[in-house]
C-alpha cells in the first residue's frame, strides 16, 4: 500500500494497540493528524455511498472543503476519554483543519475515490 509509506512511524501490532484504546498514542502528531483526517474522509464516503447520507457543509454537499464537519468530528473525538493521545489539546483542531486543506494525501477538499 503506497499510502502506508506516508506515515512517519509504523506501529508494531497496531490491532493490539487499537484493542487497548491506545492506537493513536504511539504515532507522531503528524501521523495522528493524517489518520484522523483520513478516517473522517472515509466515514463521509461511507455515509454517502452506503447510507445515502450527506453531511451539510461537506464536499459531498457541494462545499469546497469538509472543514466544518471535520471540526465536529474532532469535537466528538475529544469527549472520548482514551481516544486521543495525552498531548492532544483543542488548539490542535484548527491546526489540523489547516493541514487538511493543504495536503496532497489527507485532504478535506476532496471526495474519497478508490
Closest CA to 105 of 37, 13, 24: 37
Q: Is residue 11 part of a domain?
A: no
Q: Is residue 16 part of a domain?
A: no
Residue 63 has a pLDDT of 96
SS3 of 88-109: the string is CCCHHHHHHHHHHCCCCCCCCC
pLDDT in tens, the chain (114 residues): 345 557 788 888 877 887 888 888 888 998 999 899 999 999 999 999 999 999 899 999 999 999 999 999 999 999 988 889 989 888 888 989 998 998 767 899 999 876
Q: Is residue 81 part of a domain?
A: yes
Residue 54 has a pLDDT of 92
Q: Is residue 79 part of a domain?
A: yes
Residue 2 has a pLDDT of 43
| Stated length of the chain | 114
**How many domains does the chain fold into?**
1
Q: Is residue 77 part of a domain?
A: yes
Residue 38's domain spans which residues?
21-100
Residue 1 has a pLDDT of 38
Torsion of the alpha carbons at 76, 70, 23 and 102, rounded to the nearest 10: -160
Q: Is residue 113 part of a domain?
A: no
Amino acid at each position: 500500500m503506497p499510502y502506508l509509506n506516508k506515515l512517519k512511524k509504523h506501529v508494531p501490532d497496531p490491532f493490539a494497540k487499537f484493542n487497548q484504546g491506545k492506537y493513536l498514542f504511539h504515532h507522531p502528531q503528524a501521523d495522528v493528524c493524517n489518520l484522523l483526517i483520513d478516517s473522517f474522509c472515509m466515514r463521509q464516503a461511507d455515509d454517502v455511498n452506503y447510507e445515502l447520507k450527506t453531511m451539510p457543509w461537506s464536499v459531498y454537499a457541494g462545499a469546497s472543503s469538509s472543514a466544518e464537519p471535520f471540526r465536529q468530528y474532532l469535537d466528538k473525538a475529544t469527549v472520548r476519554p482514551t481516544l486521543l493521545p495525552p498531548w492532544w489539546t483543542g488548539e490542535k483542531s484548527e491546526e489540523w483543519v489547516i493541514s487538511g486543506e493543504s495536503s496532497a494525501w489527507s485532504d478535506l477538499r476532496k471526495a474519497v475515490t478508490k
